[in-house]
Structures are given as structure tokens and as C-alpha cells.
Amino acid sequence: MTPESQSARIREICAMAPVIPVIVIEDAAWAEPLARSLVAGGLPVLEVTLRTPAALEAIAAMAQVEGAVVGAGTVITTQDAHRARTAGARFAVSPGLTDTLVGACEECALPLLPGAATASEAMQAVEAGFDTLKFFPAGPAGGPAYLKALAGPLPGIRFCPTGGVSATNAPDYLALSNVLCVGGSWISPADMMRAGDWAGIQALARQAAGLRP
Ligand SMILES: O=C(O)C(=O)C[C@H](O)[C@H](O)COP(=O)(O)O
């Protein structure tokens, strides 16, 4: 799967909902009820970060949930990409982009949403064949004003800003011509997952799903 076809698939995925929940999961037993509540709330695209030991098992469980399109986040290495693919991930998200990761995602046919935070990083990603990028870390890098400034010289690139995005500032990003959707962890807070508050998470998802400007 070439980077160009990976980006085409990523654009389809990013068009499915205004917000991609970024999930840091501690217990794989939470995966199914969590995915069900997010999908029921109107957010079918889910990113499970590979930052916890439970992540791969959680991806496998969520991939069985009807309507869920589950991807892996924090994909850094070749092994991450292959493990995510084997677990059932349908896309991968990375904070950056390396030649090694490009090769790994091509090899295992895993559509990649690579990260970029500067014009040069975005141009390098385009040279590698990717025109749909994660803008990371969105807040610290400069927020909506910075991303808006990139739209002029780089009109073909579309972004999913992530990092410091919230229900409050998400509309500012979603209003930009170069933003397809945003990613954020605010829809699946650790304390609500620990409490098994799936109804509360569904309510957060519903609110996020209505954020289109
Ligand atoms: O580890 C990765 O590759 C990531 O995906 C980084 C996450 O997107 C951000 O850490 C989420 O940021 P917050 O919504 O501010 O919590």
C-alpha cells in the first residue's frame, strides 16, 4: 500500500467524524464497553495509543465492535506497526515520520497518519507521499492561528490537529479549511474509564460529535 493510497484511506477515515478520541487504556476489559459507548455517541473512529501494556488487546477487542474503525496511536517503530496490524488496527497514527516507519506501514498495508509540526516537516511528508497529516502537538506548536498560516503556502495538505485540543478549542480548529477532524483524549478521561462511567463517556462523545462548525 503506497503512501498515496494510505493518505487517501486516511482522508476517508478522517471524514467520518469531527473528533477522533485518543484513548490511553489501562485495562483491556474496558475496551468493548468503551468502544460501544463512543460509537453510540457518534464517534466511530477510535485511536488507541500503544502507550499501555493493554493497548494491543484493547485494539483487538474494539475491532470486533460493530461500527468501530479502530486504529493504533503512538506508532513509532516497525514492530509497533506490525503488532498493531496483527491486532486488527485499520490505521496508524504517529507523532512524527521516519523512513523506517514509512517502509513498515507500506509493508504491512497499514494506512498511516503521520505527525508534523512545521512547514518543513509537512513538506518532507508530502515528498514521502503523504498529504494528510496529524498536526502535533497542536496547542504547544501554535494552535489554530499557526495551522491557519500553513494553509496559504501548503494548500493541498489536510490536518488532524492533536495535542491540547479540547471541547472548547476544537471548533476553532474545525473551522479551518485545512482541517478534516481533530484528535483528543478529553472524550475518554482516565477517571471515567476507571469508574466504568460509559454513559458519561457516551455523553462526551455525543457532544464532540456535534462539534462541526
Ligand atoms: O502518542 C501519540 O502518538 C499521540 O497520539 C499523542 C496524542 O495525540 C496526544 O497526546 C493527545 O493529546 P491530548 O488530547 O492533549 O491528551
Q: Which CATH architecture has domain 3-209?
A: Alpha-Beta Barrel (3.20)
The arrangement of strands across the sheet holding 182-184 comes to 112-113, 92-93, 69-73, 45-49, 19-23, 182-184
Name the nearest CA neighbour of 166 among 143, 181, 186, 146: 186
CA of 181 to the centre of ligand 1 (A): 14
* Residue 47 appears among annotated catalytic residues: yes
Ligand 1 atom 4 nearest Cα = 74
Q: Give exposure, 93-129, as e/b (b: 16+ Cβ within 10 Å).
A: bbbebeeebbebbbebebbbbbbbbeeebbeebbebe
- Report the DSSP beta bridge partners of residue 73: 49
CA distance 135 to 151: 12
Ligand 1 atom 1 nearest Cα = 74
What's the start-to-end Cα distance of the chain, in Å? Answer: 33
CA of 189 to the centre of ligand 1 (A): 13
Q: pTM for this structure?
A: 0.97
Residue 179 DSSP code: B
| Tens of pLDDT, residue by residue, the chain (213 residues) | 999 999 999 999 999 999 999 999 999 999 999 999 999 999 999 999 999 999 999 999 999 999 999 999 999 999 999 999 999 999 999 999 999 999 999 999 999 999 999 999 999 999 999 999 999 999 999 999 999 999 999 999 999 999 999 999 999 999 999 999 999 999 999 999 999 999 999 999 999 999 975
Domain boundaries, the chain: 3-209
The binding-site residues of ligand 1, defined as CB within 6 angstroms of any ligand atom, are 22, 49, 73-74, 93, 95, 162-165, 183-185
Number of the ligand 1 atom closest to the C-alpha atom of 95: 3
pLDDT digits (tens, 9 = 90+) for 40-64: 999 999 999 999 999 999 999 999 9
Ligand 1 atom 11 nearest Cα = 163
- ipTM score: 0.93
CA distance 161 to 113: 11
Look-up of cell digits 471548533: 171
* Residue 12 appears among annotated catalytic residues: no
CA distance 62 to 150: 35
CA of 190 to the centre of ligand 1 (A): 14
